Amino acid sequence: MSASERTVATEGTTAAPATSHTITLTINGAKKQVEVAPWTTLLDLLRESLHLTGAKKGCDHGQCGACTVLVDGKRVNSCLTLAIVKDGAEVTTIEGLSAGDALHPLQQAFIDHDAFQCGYCTPGQICSAEGLIREKRAKTADDVRELMSGNLCRCGAYSNIVAAIEEVMGACTRERDGRGNGQGRHAVGGGRGEER
Ligand code: FES
Ligand code: FES
């Protein structure tokens, strides 16, 4: 393994503590071995050590959803998730949702529906929406509102966020039912993460 593939996560320091453990994660499709302290959260690992700053630290207490990422396809609050317990998992952050220059359908829909103002909550909203659509539990706008209630938006862009999600949800349903144009690339299946 090259030095660049090994990363030490110790919250604010680059020196590995004596208690660090090596774990393997697949992050946005790339397998990485990282050393983490037992108390390192997935959010701190992503932001501080791997420099994936899309997931935001809003409350750091599981109350705002700004830190939402997908772990094994399920949405989780990464501020409440210890990295060490996710050894072997697949993690997808907002940086890994798009396919090269092609935006993910939810990213495009958020733009089309003007579903953000400051944008601070947006990465978490989009990752959470991706998890929600995979869960296939939301059928109506009210369902979307309820099942996205863990993602707060201080700018109050809620109605536009729901509209954006509904659009992509509808396209996924049509695709699943064989009424789509076959162009979609939205994943379906999976359940809601325990942490959310
Ligand atoms: S930072 Fe607020 S829920 Fe994680
Ligand atoms: S767009 Fe500003 S917090 Fe949601």
Tell whether ligand 2 has an atom less than 6 A from the beta carbon of residue 155. Answer: yes
Query: Does 188 have pLDDT greater than 50?
Result: no
**If pLDDT is split at 50, 70 and 90, which confidence band does 100 have?**
confident
- In this prediction, residues 70-86 reach a mean pLDDT of 98
Q: Are residues 121 and 86 in the same domain?
A: no
**115 and 90 together in one domain:** no
Place of tokens 């863990």: 150
Is 163 close to ligand 2, i.e. is its CB under 6 Å away? no
Domain membership of residue 27 as a residue range:
3-95
Q: Token digits for 36?
A: 């983490």
Q: What pLDDT is stored for residue 178 in this prediction?
A: 72
Is the model's pLDDT at 187 over the cut of 60? no
The model's confidence at residue 169, banded by pLDDT at 50, 70 and 90, is very high
- What's the mean pLDDT in 19-38? 97
Average pLDDT, integer, range 174-179:
72
Query: Rounded CA gap, 23 and 62, in Å?
Result: 24
- CATH number for the domain spanning 83: value is 3.10.20.30
Question: For the chain, where are the alpha helices, taking DSSP H only?
Answer: 42-44, 105-112, 122-135, 141-147, 158-176
Q: What is the pTM of this model?
A: 0.85
Query: Atom of ligand 1 at shortest distance to CA of 67?
Result: 4
Q: Is residue 188 part of a domain?
A: no
Q: Indicate if 7 and 87 belong to the same structural domain.
A: yes
- Residue 126 Cα to ligand 2 middle (Å): 12
Q: How far is ligand 1, taken at its centre, from the CA of residue 97, in Å?
A: 20
The rounded distance, in Å, linking the Cα atoms of 167 and 176 is 14
Q: What is the pLDDT of residue 150?
A: 98
Question: Which ligand gives the minimal distance to the CA of 128?
Answer: 1
- Residue 182 inside a domain? The answer is no
Q: Is 181 among the domain residues?
A: no
Taking only the tens place, the pLDDT of each residue in 106-155 is: 999 999 999 999 999 999 999 999 999 999 999 999 999 999 999 999 99
| Whether residue 117 has its Cβ less than 6 Å from ligand 2 | yes
Ligand 2 centroid from CA 53, angstroms: 16
Q: What separation in Å is there between the alpha carbon of 1 and the centre of ligand 1?
A: 33
Same domain? For 133 and 85 the reply is: no
